[in-house]
Amino acid sequence: MATVNAYLTFEGNCEAAFNFYKSAFGGEFGGLNRFGEMPSQEGVPPLSDEIKNRIMHVNLPVSKETILMGSDTMPGMGPNITLGNNFSVSLGVNSKEEADKLFAALSAGGKVTMPLEVTFWGAYFGMWTDQFGINWMVNYDLPK
């Protein structure tokens, strides 16, 4: 079966975002590479120090099945990022305590759009936009 993982793109603050996510989820990065690690290419001007320091790829294992991945953009390469509301990273957790912990950690500095509460569909659920403009939701299916 295929797995689905979120890949988040930032305009220069990927490292700050992923350090924030690491503080909430724990663990260590599975890999982190910067644009400055790319070999130079003939005909391509050297990268500025600011661009060299941007994240080319980072991954943070969140569980055995899930990896949160991300990168910064490189100016002039691809479209500009437009933060939108057409997706959310959805966390399925194993307890109310885990939901509370991740909600508190990841919503810090952001905007809560739905506080954690017991819902009509039998879940403990909440939503927020984090301080980096990423939409999140957490869901714990209550025992029946």
DSSP codes, 120-140? TTSEEEEEEE-TTS-EEEEEE
Enter the CATH code of domain 87-144. 3.10.180.10
Class of domain 1-76: alpha beta
CA distance 102 to 63: 14
Contacts of 51 (CB under 8 A, 6+ apart): 35, 36, 74, 75
**What pLDDT digit, counting tens, does each position of 96-122 carry?**
999 999 999 999 999 999 999 999 899
Domain boundary assignment for the chain: 1-76, 87-144
CA distance 54 to 62: 22
CB of 72 closer than 8 Å to CB of 9: yes
The confidence score (pLDDT) of residue 99 equals 96
Residue whose tokens read 């996510």? 21
Evaluate if residue 142 carries a pLDDT over 90. yes
Helix (H) or strand (E) holding 26: none
Percent of the chain with pLDDT over 90: 65
**What pLDDT digit, counting tens, does each position of 71-101 carry?**
998 776 655 666 666 678 989 999 999 999 9
Evaluate if residue 61 carries a pLDDT over 90. yes
Q: What DSSP state is assigned to residue 82?
A: -
What does the radius of gyration of the chain's CA atoms come to, in whole angstroms? 17
pTM given for the model: 0.81
Percent of the chain with pLDDT over 70: 90
